Amino acid sequence: MNSMVILVACGMCTLMMSMFGLRVREVCTVFGLIDMPTERKRHATPTPLVGGLALLLIILPICLIAMLEFGQPLMHTSTIEYCLAVAAMAAIGIADDRHNLSASRRLVMSLGVFMVLALVDPLFSVRILHFGVPNFTFGLLSTWVAAVFTTLCCVGLVNAVNMADGKNGLVIGLLIGWLAILTRFAPPSLFPLLVIFEAGLVILYILNMRGQVFLGDGGSYGFSAALGLLSIAIYNKGMVTPQPHTLTADVIAILFIVPVFDSFRLTFVRTMRGQSPMAADRDHLHHHLLNAFGWPGGLLVYYAVAFAPITIWLLAFYR
């Protein structure tokens, strides 16, 4: 796909997202996706939950059209499967935004989406673990073992990102930064997906920082699934056809380490207290940073904490 096509696709995404932003309250009202203030949710006014709809109505269709019309023919099937999986995850999140699904139901549905995709398309299944630092490789035992491992990793990332989504600018900013880092490793066949997602997220970031919209579980689930699956696809492409910078397992682990570690910490602490691991509280990292630095001061500190490990790792080992 040539650079002009990518530029046009990004321009279309930016334009449509901007137009969507002008009518977002009316659209979200129709779908019942308005987040009302509560004692725990302390925003000032009812706010549209826009992320899932933005994915389903704008970003994924543009990705699909661009990749099928101008991308490599060998990628067509994988592109369709990728978009269907991301759409399914966004739909699960939207259903939770709308109907407050139980944690167990969301977990079972998420496991099903990632397991099916990992079994039907090797591009989205981690069958070999290759680490750059230290340099070693080992293969998983079977297709099913690889699918289970991949599914657990993807569900873990989705839950970690969803747990972090508690303040304006936080998760969307992380997503933008993560995608930007992944462009260093992406092969040409996957690069358009990265930049189209970036274009849509930038508009969402502006609206979110103004307090006009929230990402919602639809956006948190959908975008984190899109990011996780893209990371796996870039990783697997590098295993088959080495790139100038090949994405390795240690880089992926370091990239997402802060929100994933915080989710593990919260799960452990809640379990020790006899609470459900999915219980709501104000013990997340962003809550502590809010109390210590205010907001957006806490947001800047979170960005620094989240991106410092991968920046140091890349400068030290992957120049």
In a domain, 10, yes or no: yes
Q: Give me the pLDDT at residue 150, please.
A: 97
Q: Look at residue 277 in the predicted model and tell me its pLDDT.
A: 75
Domain assignment present for 145? yes
pTM: 0.94
Say if 259 falls within a structural domain: no
**Domain extent for 44:** 3-249
Question: Which distant-in-sequence residues (6+ apart) come within 8 Å of 270 by Cβ?
Answer: 276, 277, 279, 281
**294 inside domain:** no
DSSP 225-276: HHHHHHHHHHHHHHHHS--SS---HHHHHHHTHHHHHHHHHHHHHHHHTT--
Total structural domains in the chain?
1
State the burial class of residue 229 (Cβ atoms within 10 Å of its Cβ: 0-12, 13-18, 19+): buried
Tell me if 201 sits within 8 A of 161, measured CB to CB.
no
Nearest to 93 by CA among 261, 268, 221: 221
**250, 313 Cβ separation under 8 angstroms:** yes
Verify cis geometry, omega within 30 degrees of 0, for the bond prior to 259.
no
pLDDT at 39: 58
pLDDT at 63: 95
What pLDDT score does 195 carry?
95
Residue stretches of the chain with pLDDT short of 50: none
Q: Which pLDDT belongs to residue 42?
A: 60
Residue 285 in any domain: the answer is: no
Residue type, 298: G
Residue 308: inside a domain: no
Report the 10 Å Cβ neighbour count for 96: 23
The SS3 of residue 127 is: coil
CA neighbor of 115 nearest in space, from 80, 74, 73, 145: 145
Q: How many CA atoms lie within 13 A of 183 on its CB side?
A: 13
In the numeric block, the tokens 């930007």 are attached to 180
Between the CA of residue 55 and those of 94, 112, 219, 277, what are the distances in Å? 11, 20, 7, 28
Residue 291 lies in a domain: no
- Does 319 reside within a domain? no
